[in-house]
């Protein structure tokens, strides 16, 4: 896992945030909507960077932007950390240096090689094209077979020495198994940490906000971090423990408010936005 030693003297300048359960208002939560309005105004009048870091695919992020009238971010990290888009004028373009970075990590082995290797696995089918990326090969299976298919896929990837790993999860809405084959070590956090050392800001300037396990690495790498009140279980406690081992527990803020309101509370606490 990537970590860095933060310089506490450097003030925050960029909000990097998870979307679902964090920056996107919870259903029917008027306070969250008001907080979002505050962020919209702040983006129009204040100088601070905005990065979305989400497991959603790019089209789905654009959909969320429209649906919730989110303020436009400067950067979007999506597809479980396997693609980064950069805002240029009115549109978003794929950030090529990150593609180059992933191509180097995968030693040129691209999705064609992965697809060919897994083509004859019974019960495994490719998801629709908008779910696919150059470095994210996504499959669907029955819920019951997901774990064993992931194990089989990993066995084959290892034998073929393709530096990819297959992760299985369940789609709670459709009762299906979802399998993502990603470059080994790819994650939302890894992509965000890479971005913070290659874009027009530094890791010291980032405030990161999240609510679930796939935010844990980004919450504990050294960024100023906000855990929203609706986070799962004791995510904040576990993150604080992890940070305390490096004497960095002061980098974490446990919000008393949920989702968008908690993110706003944390941004004010860290001085990214005025109180």
The residues binding Mg ion (CB under 5 A) are 18, 20-21, 211-212
> For residues 102 and 209, which CB has a smaller minimum distance to Mg ion in the complex?
209
Is there a contact between 272 and 243 (Cβ–Cβ < 8 Å)?
A: no
Q: Which residues contact 196 (CB under 8 A, 6 or more apart)?
A: 14, 16, 202, 203, 205, 206, 223
- 137-142/49-53 β-pairing: unpaired
> For residues 14 and 19, which CB has a smaller minimum distance to Mg ion in the complex?
19
Q: Is 155 exposed, middle or buried (0-12, 13-18, 19+ CB in 10 A)?
A: exposed
> For residues 18 and 204, which CB has a smaller minimum distance to Mg ion in the complex?
18
> For residues 21 and 123, which CB has a smaller minimum distance to Mg ion in the complex?
21
> For residues 168 and 209, which CB has a smaller minimum distance to Mg ion in the complex?
209
Helix axes 146-159, 111-118, angle to 10 degrees: 120
Please report how close the Cβ of residue 266 comes to Mg ion at its closest, in angstroms: 15
Please report how close the Cβ of residue 81 comes to Mg ion at its closest, in angstroms: 14
> For residues 37 and 213, which CB has a smaller minimum distance to Mg ion in the complex?
213
Please report how close the Cβ of residue 211 comes to Mg ion at its closest, in angstroms: 5
Q: In what order do the strands lie in the sheet with 176-183?
A: 125-126, 137-142, 176-183, 164-171
Question: Both tokens of residue 122?
Answer: 């019974």
Query: How far is Cα 37 from Cα 261, in angstroms, rounded to an integer?
Result: 10
Please report how close the Cβ of residue 108 comes to Mg ion at its closest, in angstroms: 33
Please report how close the Cβ of residue 194 comes to Mg ion at its closest, in angstroms: 20
Is there a contact between 271 and 11 (Cβ–Cβ < 8 Å)?
A: yes
Please report how close the Cβ of residue 83 comes to Mg ion at its closest, in angstroms: 18
């Amino acid at each position: 896992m990537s970590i860095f030693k933060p310089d506490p003297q450097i003030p925050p300048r960029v909000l990097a945030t998870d979307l679902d359960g964090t920056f996107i208002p919870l259903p029917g939560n008027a306070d969250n909507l008001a907080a979002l309005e505050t962020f919209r105004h702040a983006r129009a009048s204040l100088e601070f960077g905005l990065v979305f870091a989400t497991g959603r695919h790019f089209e789905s992020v654009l959909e969320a932007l429209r649906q919730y009238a989110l303020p436009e971010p400067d950067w979007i990290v999506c597809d479980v950390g396997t693609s980064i888009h950069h805002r240029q004028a009115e549109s978003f373009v794929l950030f090529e240096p990150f593609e180059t970075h992933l191509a180097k990590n995968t030693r040129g082995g691209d999705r064609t090689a992965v697809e060919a290797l897994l083509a004859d696995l019974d019960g495994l089918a490719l998801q629709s094209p908008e779910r696919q990326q150059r470095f994210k090969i996504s499959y669907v299976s029955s819920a019951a077979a997901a774990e064993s298919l992931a194990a089989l896929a990993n066995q084959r990837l290892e034998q073929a020495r393709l530096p990819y790993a297959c992760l299985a999860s369940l789609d709670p809405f459709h009762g299906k198994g979802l399998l993502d084959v990603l470059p080994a070590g790819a994650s939302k956090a890894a992509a965000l940490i890479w971005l913070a050392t290659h874009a027009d800001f530094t890791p010291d300037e980032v405030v990161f906000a999240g609510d679930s396990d796939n935010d844990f690495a980004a919450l504990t790498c050294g960024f100023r971090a906000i855990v929203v009140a609706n986070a799962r279980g004791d995510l904040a406690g576990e993150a604080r423990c992890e940070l305390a081992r490096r004497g960095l527990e002061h980098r974490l803020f446990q919000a008393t408010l949920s989702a968008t309101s908690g993110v706003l509370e944390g941004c004010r606490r860290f001085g990214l936005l005025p109180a």
